[in-house]
Structure 1
Amino acid sequence: MIQRLFTKALFFLLTFFTVLSTIGYAQDTAADSLDIEINNPLEVTPSQYEILSLTVEGGSHTVRPSFIKNTSGLEVGSTITIPGDDISQAIKRLNRTGIFSDIEINQVGSTANGIHLQISVVEQPRLSDYEIRGVKRSQRSDLRERLNLLSGFAVDKSSKTQAINTIKRFYREKGYWFTEVDVSTSEPDTVRNRVTMYFDIDPGERLEIKDIRFEGNDQYDEKKLRKTLDTIKEDRWWKFFSKKLFKQEDYEEAKSNLRSFYAENGFRDFRIVEDSVFTYNYKDDKEGVGVWIKVNEGPQYKVRNITWEGNTVYSDERLTQALGFQKGDVFNESKFDENLQYTQGSTDVTSLYHNIGYLFFQVQPEINVVAEDSLDIHLNIVEDEIATISEVSFTGNTKTHDDVVRRTLRTIPGETYSRQAIVRTVRELGTLGYFQAKNITPVPEPNYQDKTVDIRYELDESQSTDNFEFSGGFGGRGIGLILSAKLNFNNFSMGRALRGEGFNPIPSGDGQKLSLGVQVTGSGYQSYNFGFQEPWLSGKPLSLGVNFNYNLIKYRNTNIRNELFSSSVSLGKRLKWPDDYFTQRTVLSYQLYDVAGGASFLAEGTSSILSIKEVIERNSLDNPISPTSGSKLMFSLEVAPPLPSFAQFYKAKTSYQNHTTLAGKLVFTNTVEYGYLGYLGSGQRSNFQRFMLGGTQLQQRQSFINDNIDLRGYPGGNNGSITPRIDGEEVGGRLYSKYSLELRYPAVSEDQVQVIPYLFTDAGNAYLNLEDFSPFNVKRATGVGVRIFLPILGLVDLSYGYRLDGLPGTNPPVNAGEWEFLFNIGTPF
């Protein structure tokens, strides 16, 4: 009996001490991983115990005891197994919060069937603030935007490591190597347990790429492949305009460019097998970056057969033509995808169907490799049914009235769906100038069951359409100080103004244009003008324009005084033939010239001109400020008939400009212009409005006497224009030719500002008579310029041109080899 009691007592003691050794330990959360070791020298049979009570020691107002209990997963009344992993799992759960630096779960009492537990914790210090030291202020500002460190967060090893990685990644993106970051903290305050973190940063060195090598390239040499990379380049002594730094983002794009290059040249199986970026001493103790790329080019595939299945609307030949491949062509993957899905000119296969209503059209290509380096392309087509436009809506026009937007839409409910009509609508809305063109988003919402589609246009009217132009400058060559001011209300509402509505500050929303301007040049030139245009007369696509101008020139130290009063009324309409990009405009003008004191070939006295002008224009530009695609063709014929007491003439002008995107945002523009002034019979001939080239409209002091043609690099104005001269006097040309080439890049394209630098070459000349006309005997200039657009000020054009040819007979002389600065307000397109 005594022996059995002794054995039971011994077993109870062993079990009791085993429980204590199991639940009485601490865990340091600063360790990289949780390492729990339970000393259990004797094998003990696990037993279940009820948690009789659960208390918390070390909680605060920030971390409440209830949170600690809930997070641990331990509950009063629940049963835990000892030995077992219930306690260790509770500690792990608390540890994962990252809030505590020390955690203990201890037994504080027990009975035969249950135990009393206490959770003791020590909180991690909390972040009060942090400082970044050792780097420039701009970098500190950029780093604060990236670091995800908020006041009140626990300062633990994980948050420190994440911050260090963020800092190093920031400097690596900027081309720095060997960045070092030391993190320290202040002593926690005794009240709130808050600390300040300090980041002491050594950015390291900005190393340039000194060597780019390839391995496995048989078809193309390394020089060609380096150019293909584009975004990363080797440093060479002559490339002194920029540092050739290694940035990971640029490197990833470079590898993508390399893959695209091979894919566009038929190497569908091309792979980058291995690559490495490293630093090395390229010269003495100077370090640089080396890049090594190992490639597997694979075979160059060519097209063998192209077959179509499922097409009934278009023939195989028409679809193959749209696809742009013939038998034997090298397979260009980028061209294939583009010609199958979408091209800028809507000549792709999908657009062929979408433009005639087949919205639900699908095409599935099957590309099979045959004979090792050839491809058979089979395209399965599901034409489906034609979709009809059900509803068209738009949002975002906060100021512009709905009817102004609605009349611009090319997608009409009830009509057949057309992708081309959507593209055209986006272009038309963008050229209104009321909305951010790049933010106009069409959202088709197809209903396959009903074979219909709803179209919603999301507009952004954040930009101001009205602007106040004010400028000043020096015209040179006796022109003097130029001051110009102009108010342009480009979304005016005359109806609301007459009703006394909408003055906040200007009645707007009807798409009408109202302009008021004044220009003063020194004390000798004044110009005042008023213009109004209604683009949609009586709810029809007819435009009505009215203009009035008064101009005055007084020549210094002479009695010469020239005045001009002019007025015009124009009526225009859209045309549907030859296509709907054409417009026609008729302009009726009256001009009254008053010449006092004699002015060379101009007769003293008054001269009246009544003329009618027809203008035919085709305009497919995608943007009126800085076009990236499209063209503009214009032909005008103005006739002043030989009426009694009126001067007579006829004038024909034509111009053509084309805009092409070369690569990325780089745009090339070429322009050609010609003009001719003739006379009808033997009536009173007008010597006004002859052609003079050079300068800008803003800097032309005699703009109302002559027809001044802008030409950069030449000053224009008195004794500075490109024009025929008789006895040293400028008489103006009856013919002119002008050519222009421009390469521009929109460097800044933000909502509130656009900056567009460009290179240009201009050439032109004016000729006295038809027999003198020689279209390529021109005066040339080349140079640089920049256009700056601000919604409130409009477009300002600055150019600096270098003359390749001089102008004989000018005083002061306009010589070759000189630079000419010009500025203008208003769009050249």
Structure 2
Amino acid sequence: MQKILSSSAVRFVLVFLGLYVACLCPTIAQEVVIRDIRIEGIQRIEPGTIFTYLPLKVGDTLTADKSAAAIKALYESGFFKDIRLELQGNVLVVSVEERPTVAQVDFVGIKEFDKEQLRKALRAVGVGESRIFDRAALDRAEQELKRQYLSRGKYAVQTVTTVTPLERNRVAVNFAVTEGEVAKIKSIKFVGNQSFKEAELLDLLNLSTPTWLSWYTKNDQYSKEKLTGDLEAVRSFYLNRGYLEFRIDSTQVSITPDKKEIYITVNVVEGNKYTVSEVKLAGEMLGEEKQLASLLTLRKGDVFNREKLNQSIKAMTDRYGQLGYAFANVNAAPEIDREKSQVAFTVYIDPGRRAYVRKVNISGNTRTKDEVIRRELRQFENSWYDADRIKASRNRVDRLGYFKDVQIGTEPVAGASDQVDVNLAVTEKPTGALTFGLGFSSAEKLIVSGAINQSNFLGTGQSLGLSVNSSRLNRVYSLSLTDPYFTEDGVARTYDLYHREFNAAFLGLGDYRTANRGAAVRFGIPFTEHDRFIIGLGYESTQLILGNNAPQRLLRYRNDYGNFSDAYVTTSGWIRDSRDSALNPTTGGVYRAVIDVALPGGDLTFYRPALGAQKYYKITKDYTLAFNTEYNTGVAYGSKPYPVLRNYYAGGIGSVRGYTTSSLGPRDADGFILGGQSRFVSNLEFLFPMPGTGNDKGIRLFTFLDGGNVFADEWALSFNQLRYSSGLGLNWLSPIGPLKLSLGFPLNKKEGDRLQKFQFQVGTGF
């Protein structure tokens, strides 16, 4: 490879060239006035480009120094490999030889990487089609190519680069690669560890020797970045167990001559195990001494724990942020007593000046209107900085469900020590779907379906849904429109209009059909940051069409209510939503207490209370525990019994997975599913990232434990009759909406239970 000259060597060469030109052109030494400049030898480069770099113009007096400066400037442009200056009378002739351009970049033997991705990477270091060919850039490209292979553990990689001249002063660059085999970690050893066994330290590492799952995890492939992360995990392990002066003395990574096996040796110095002798506060505490002391989780007598100390410092910083001190500085200074193996900490607090927010900048919303985001903000411009309000703003924007990612941060205002700007960056995701389909199944025969669903209609934050589904089993026509800010105070309004038909005969539930038509309007009235009162009124008419072999329960229903019945239903209740995200919640929860009442004046008179709670616990940044429970019951009032067409059902992915949808609960003498007046369902999920997806929360795996059932009577609940199931599944924010797949295994199935292990559902959380 050609070596790059040092800057001093370049200066020497340029000076020499200047002297050389002066010797060849005596007229230059005579300081000739330039009357014209002529360019010769150019093929692709425009003369104007050369004049841009040439520090000479007509009318200048040409000297040896100016000649050297002109040659230097043209060389530094990178376009030429040879430059000559000549004088023909008073005409300066600039003769150049252009450097070739790269016509194509090809690869041979590449299997590990996508070739187009490699072309982009090499173009970033200066080698790409239509670029000026540069030998130094080619050297960098070779090193970058090798580095990419080394990051994959392929240390035996060999590259041969060929540069082939082409017509019109072009070249073709070809990288011939012999990838070789991946080097595997043969051994990882710790030296100097006395307090903890080597096996315990090895369990902390992501890197490992080959295991039966290494083909998937690839943890047996060495990576400098992975090793750095593993060593930090070991360091944190010791520091969180009292070893204040722990250090990693050295790390040796060696590879066998055949470059197939790697040996890693980590030398550690543990030091003494320290206990905390004292933790005291100092500095300007603004009367917050008691509050700050309560935030200290590391106390006198504890074994030193760096994580607890850092958590305490963060909690104090956050506390001052709540008070408006955006630039608070909290530091812990240790005083080490090595003889007693004790350490005392003095936590120094400097709140700085109280800050206020100058501007709130929003970026990334190419489709969503600014006002849709700004009305969710709780941190306002030209008001005192409040860390809690900033966090609440971020969570409210995320709960809209319009964005894949929402990030918020602060930036000091230049020249102002008491001002910050809040920057909110969003990444939009598709919020609408237009679908049309034709299908066929043994139960439903021909299915024609179509839907338009837009949760952020025209970027206004309004939600519009129009769906049509036509089959022999179900026919649905519905229209829904929601305005979350019907008033400026945040009162939401929803209109619903629908027509639904259901033919039970095709599922073996009995020889009958129903047709429901209805309309409703609902309002959501906020009264705290997270709480909302809902109230609504709807009308629904039900037509019952019985066949020759209709179930007895439907015959009784017709005797009570006739073939046509209607109901005027009011909805009222309370909902609290404190989740940090609508699509991927990790903290907070949703709680609801709602009751539907069919008012006197209609054929049906009943009320249906519903209680529910969803709670999310963030275990780590990657792992979340989710809990859901709900109880529903239906009660008739007046002289007529509870209408069986309003019964509850359970079973399936929305309730108890592993059992066929709506199959749990009482049955009649003919074995038909009756449903019931009461239902209880509880779910527990443990969510974690899918291996290989990194921090992508759009797709997550989960394990679950479900329990629930349906009961015949009002207010009924018997835990002895619950059905349980467990299994695993997948949450995916797919292009058609939130998709949930589950594989469930019943734990206490009874005779007659209908099972369905694999199930899926679109558009639901639990």
Quick check: 2:655–2:682 contact (8 Å CA) kept in 1? no
Q: What is aligned with 1:382?
A: 350
Q: What is aligned with 1:214?
A: 190
Does residue 511 (structure 1) correspond to residue 487 (structure 2)? The answer is no
Residue 671 of structure 1: CA displacement? 1.5
Does residue 432 (structure 1) correspond to residue 400 (structure 2)? The answer is yes
Does residue 800 (structure 1) correspond to residue 750 (structure 2)? The answer is no
Q: Within 5 A, what are the aligned runs for 1:259-658? A: 259-280=235-256, 287-341=260-314, 348-372=315-339, 373-384=341-352, 386-389=354-357, 391-392=359-360, 394=362, 397-413=365-381, 415-434=383-402, 436=403, 438-445=405-412, 451=418, 453-460=420-427, 462-469=428-435, 478=443, 484-492=449-457, 508-520=458-470, 522-556=471-505, 560-576=512-528, 580-597=529-546, 598-602=550-554, 603-604=557-558, 605=562, 606-640=564-598, 643=600, 646-658=603-615
Letter in 2 for 1:725: R
Q: 1:233 aligns with which of 202, 208, 211?
A: 208
Q: Aligned partners of 1:544 and 1:152: how far apart in 2?
A: 58
Q: What is aligned with 1:712?
A: 657
Q: 1:134 aligns with which of 102, 109, 116?
A: 109
Letter in 2 for 1:488: N
Quick check: 1:426–1:442 contact (8 Å CA) kept in 2? no
Quick check: 1:658–1:670 contact (8 Å CA) kept in 2? yes
Quick check: 2:681–2:709 contact (8 Å CA) kept in 1? yes
Runs of 5+ unmatched residues, structure 1: 1-27, 37-47, 81-86, 106-118, 342-347, 493-507, 697-708
Residue 54 of structure 1: CA displacement? 6.4
**What do residues 144-163 of structure 1 show as CA deviations (whole Å, max 9, x unaligned)?**
22223145777676445333
Question: Cα gap change, 1:722/1:192 in structure 2, threshold over 3 Å: closer, same or farther?
Answer: same
Aligned residue pairs total: 715
Quick check: 2:444–2:472 contact (8 Å CA) kept in 1? no
Quick check: 1:307–1:316 contact (8 Å CA) kept in 2? no
**What do residues 410-468 of structure 1 show as CA deviations (whole Å, max 9, x unaligned)?**
1234643211111111111222233x3524434455589685555454455x4333322
Residue 70 of structure 1: CA displacement? 8.7
Quick check: 2:398–2:406 contact (8 Å CA) kept in 1? no
Quick check: 1:746–1:754 contact (8 Å CA) kept in 2? no
**What do residues 231-284 of structure 1 show as CA deviations (whole Å, max 9, x unaligned)?**
x12213465544421223322222233233333333332222121222349xxx
Question: Cα gap change, 1:208/1:384 in structure 2, threshold over 3 Å: closer, same or farther?
Answer: closer
Question: Cα gap change, 1:54/1:223 in structure 2, threshold over 3 Å: closer, same or farther?
Answer: farther
Q: Aligned partners of 2:171 and 2:414: how far apart in 1?
A: 59
Runs of 5+ unmatched residues, structure 2: 11-21, 30-38, 86-93
Does residue 61 (structure 1) correspond to residue 34 (structure 2)? The answer is no
Letter in 2 for 1:512: Q
RMSD: 4.5
Residue 528 of structure 1: CA displacement? 1.7
Letter in 2 for 1:272: I
Q: What is aligned with 1:765?
A: 709
Quick check: 2:397–2:406 contact (8 Å CA) kept in 1? no
Structure showing greater radius of gyration is 1
Quick check: 1:409–1:425 contact (8 Å CA) kept in 2? yes
Q: Aligned partners of 1:587 and 1:515: how far apart in 2?
A: 19
Q: Within 5 A, what are the aligned runs for 1:129-278? A: 129-136=104-111, 138-147=113-122, 148-150=126-128, 158-186=136-164, 188=165, 194-230=170-206, 232-237=207-212, 239=214, 241-243=216-218, 244-278=220-254
Q: What is aligned with 1:740?
A: 683
Question: Cα gap change, 1:538/1:234 in structure 2, threshold over 3 Å: closer, same or farther?
Answer: same
SS in 2 for 1:711: coil
Give the percent of matched residue pairs that are identical in Structure 1 and Structure 2.
Answer: 24
Question: Cα gap change, 1:274/1:526 in structure 2, threshold over 3 Å: closer, same or farther?
Answer: same
Residue 800 of structure 1: CA displacement? 3.1
Tell which deviates more after alignment, 754-763 or 612-621. 754-763
Letter in 2 for 1:568: A
Residue 688 of structure 1: CA displacement? 3.0
**What do residues 6-31 of structure 1 show as CA deviations (whole Å, max 9, x unaligned)?**
xxxxxxxxxxxxxxxxxxxxxx9779
Quick check: 1:566–1:589 contact (8 Å CA) kept in 2? yes
Quick check: 1:468–1:794 contact (8 Å CA) kept in 2? no
Question: Cα gap change, 1:102/1:519 in structure 2, threshold over 3 Å: closer, same or farther?
Answer: closer
Instruction: Provide TM-score, normalisation by structure 1.
Output: 0.75
Residue 534 of structure 1: CA displacement? 2.3
Tell which deviates more after alignment, 615-624 or 402-411. 402-411
Q: Aligned partners of 1:184 and 1:383: how far apart in 2?
A: 62
Q: What is aligned with 1:702?
A: none
Q: Aligned partners of 2:636 and 2:42: how far apart in 1?
A: 97
Quick check: 1:724–1:767 contact (8 Å CA) kept in 2? yes
Question: Cα gap change, 1:734/1:165 in structure 2, threshold over 3 Å: closer, same or farther?
Answer: same
Quick check: 1:52–1:77 contact (8 Å CA) kept in 2? no
Q: What is aligned with 2:616?
A: 659
Quick check: 1:50–1:78 contact (8 Å CA) kept in 2? no
**What do residues 366-387 of structure 1 show as CA deviations (whole Å, max 9, x unaligned)?**
2222345322211222335544
Question: Cα gap change, 1:239/1:774 in structure 2, threshold over 3 Å: closer, same or farther?
Answer: farther
Instruction: Provide TM-score, normalisation by structure 2.
Output: 0.80
Quick check: 2:105–2:128 contact (8 Å CA) kept in 1? no
Q: Aligned partners of 1:336 and 1:394: how far apart in 2?
A: 35
Question: Cα gap change, 1:397/1:79 in structure 2, threshold over 3 Å: closer, same or farther?
Answer: closer
Tell which deviates more after alignment, 745-754 or 163-172. 745-754
